[in-house]
Amino acid sequence: MTQEEARTRIQQLSDELHHHNYQYYVLANPEISDYQFDMLMEELMVIEKQFPDLLVPDSPSQRVGGQVTREFKAVSHVYPMLSLGNTYSEDELNDFDARVHKLLGESVEYICELKFDGVSISLNYREGFLYQAVTRGDGIQGDDVTVNVRTIRSIPLKLKGDDFPLSFEVRGEIIMPRKGFAEFNEERVEIGEAPFANPRNATAGSLKMQDSAEVAKRPLDNYVYYLLGEHLPFDSHVKSLIAMKSWGFKVSDHYRLCSSMQDVIRFINEIGKIRHTLPYDIDGVVIKVNSIAQQQALGFTAKSPRWAIAYKYKAEEAKTVLLSIDYQVGRTGAVTPVANLKPVQLAGTVVKRASLHNADIIEKLDVRIGDLVIVEKGGEIIPKITSVDLSKRDLFAEPVIFIKNCPECGTLLTRNEGEAAWYCPNEDYCPPQIKGKLEHFISRKAMNIDSLGEGKVEILFYSGLVKTISDLYALTYNDLFGLEKVIEGKDTKKEKKLSFKQKTAENILNGISSSKTIPFSRVLFALGIRYVGETVAKKLASHFHTMEALSTASFEELLQVEEIGEKIAASLVDYFGNPKHIEIIQRLKDVGIQFEQEEAAILSDKLSGKVFVVSGVFSRFSRDQVKKMIEEHGGKNSSSVSKNTDFVLAGDKMGPEKLKKAEQLGIQILSEDEFVQMLL
């Protein structure tokens, strides 16, 4: 491939990837599969590696991160990032309206927008490309977080169309949607890390991480709401919102033009009723004068614009009495304390329970039975206790002592060093752990048996038909037809009967049968091995290719897999060292579950018959990407150096033992650049 051919192909691939990225992350309307997207991205990265002078900052390949920032450079804002005046009162909104009319002496149109509860960001664009991203900081200067912001896929690296200004700035809010936050926190809890208190904290922590590759894994999103620049061609704020959306930015549809403050208050009340159903947290509504000319006439105070104000919803918290504490056991064995509360109205619902997270949180709060506690309901489904009113404490209230034994099976709890959670180690015989593993196994991201749900799984479990995940594949129509259970509703006076009729039984069996086509990486995730989430499962499947190779891998071999540390490796060795687990895997294999990684598409035979050992850290590709490239060009990967090895592909920090053995056997050692040359 010549330099000019490479330039043309890079442009074609970049345009395609930018388009599909916009369709997926901004419009939520994907046109191709994840696999097809990954193949396009991989081709782009290979060519960029071959022709590094053609790599540009707006390349879609820059989304994956990889750069490490030791220190975030301070940058002065061209336009100060002022804060808005806040109010919780309708009377103060009317006072704001009166001031605006008095200063202008003419009619005013307002635009109302959501006040996102995230982290403010300034995005600078030059000639249609993202140039720099800067945090608010103190309003005068902030931190340059461009490397991390490039990984957020709803922020365009290259703008759509050609009608944008040569240079301009966009203000927006980086957020973590509630669903992504809940899943992210769940993963943290499962690996023994403390959960983030709320999506805003998680977002702020993510933006200041030093490794952009780690930021790329966080479920961050972005909405923009303000355009700044010299000689902008818009006479109203709403027109700038429409323009920003046409250029590829994500703009919320929840905004409204209002001709009076009464219209503004109606919008605030409408949003107040639905804000808990939104996929992200907001803490209010921003009211702005719509006319740009009027904004300029009103100007600014030292701290905030005179033409805008934020109405904030009052903090959603309530005081109530802590009656008792229950301890719930999850599928991983983690024991979570849950507070039983005197019922209290909060955020439109009656709250009876609140999360206490773990023993450390109980100790930090110093919460005691009978205490008057403050409960908050943020983005989490289960409210949480945030503090205790010590002035109301009973003098004889005793500290809460975290339980020592599993509340379900009585097994002595254990706690790993450096982890917050206590665990029940009886993973194969503790009822809630078994039921939790079954529910995880059938879930959408795992085996996707959508004809089953928690209620049906519970019936199968308590009827004795299903005690392990492999039992699902032994079910027959006669087992299912006629099964039933009486389920209590929220009102205990109302009960409903869940029963398996003919169609239900057939759907369940069809769903179970269809799950046999689920690929190996998702099967591995579905097994519910501790610390093995979706990403780790993909890494393991890509590295070992078969369940047989993975299940027999040594601790040292597991550590050779990218991103697999000692904790995950130890968990895998422990899991596969249990004869019961091997028996379950064999039963799943016997019924046709996929325990081999799908073969990579063959792009050429340039490496046909050659055996590679990949070791170390590479500057442009991950180890998994390198291994995939080897297979796509006809080669084979091996985890250990032997006389059958043809090449050792060595990155930085290559394992010294592998290097020593390769030198002893006279095996050729390749650099990353030499490997790329082999593919030309």
Catalytic sites, residue numbers: 115
- Maximum separation of any 2 CA atoms in the chain, in Å: 88
User: Do β-strands 141-143 and 636-638 pair in parallel, antiparallel, or remain unpaired?
Assistant: unpaired
Query: Which class for 661: exposed (0-12), middle (13-18), buried (19 or more C-beta within 10 A)?
Result: middle
Dihedral angle of Cα 131, 134, 139, 142, to the nearest 10 degrees: -120
Distance CA 436, CA 336 (A): 14
> Cα–Cα–Cα angle for 128, 133, 137, nearest 5°?
150
Distance CA 43, CA 28 (A): 24
Evaluate whether 361 touches 377 at the Cβ level (below 8 Å). Answer: no
Distance CA 512, CA 472 (A): 7
Query: Which class for 267: exposed (0-12), middle (13-18), buried (19 or more C-beta within 10 A)?
Result: buried
Give Cβ neighbours of residue 680 (< 8 Å, ≥ 6 apart): 1, 50
User: Do β-strands 334-346 and 422-423 pair in parallel, antiparallel, or remain unpaired?
Assistant: antiparallel
Give Cβ neighbours of residue 217 (< 8 Å, ≥ 6 apart): 535
Evaluate whether 387 touches 373 at the Cβ level (below 8 Å). Answer: yes
The token pair that represents 565 in the structure block? 């540390």
Distance CA 572, CA 570 (A): 5
Closest among 179, 168, 27, 177 to 116, alpha carbons compared: 177
Distance CA 676, CA 365 (A): 56
Phi, psi dihedral angles at 352 (to 5 degrees)? -120, -15
Distance CA 516, CA 447 (A): 8
Residue 664 CA to its chain's centroid (Å): 45
Closest among 468, 443, 460, 444 to 585, alpha carbons compared: 468
Strands (E), 77-118: 86-87, 110-116
The token pair that represents 122 in the structure block? 């300034």
Phi, psi dihedral angles at 340 (to 5 degrees)? -95, 125
Q: DSSP 3-state assignment of 392?
A: helix
Helix (H) or strand (E) holding 170: strand 167-175
Concatenated DSSP letters for 574-596? HHHT-HHHHHHHHHHHHTT---B
Evaluate whether 223 touches 278 at the Cβ level (below 8 Å). Answer: no
The amino acid occupying position 563 is E
The number of beta carbons lying within 10 Å of the beta carbon of residue 274 is 9
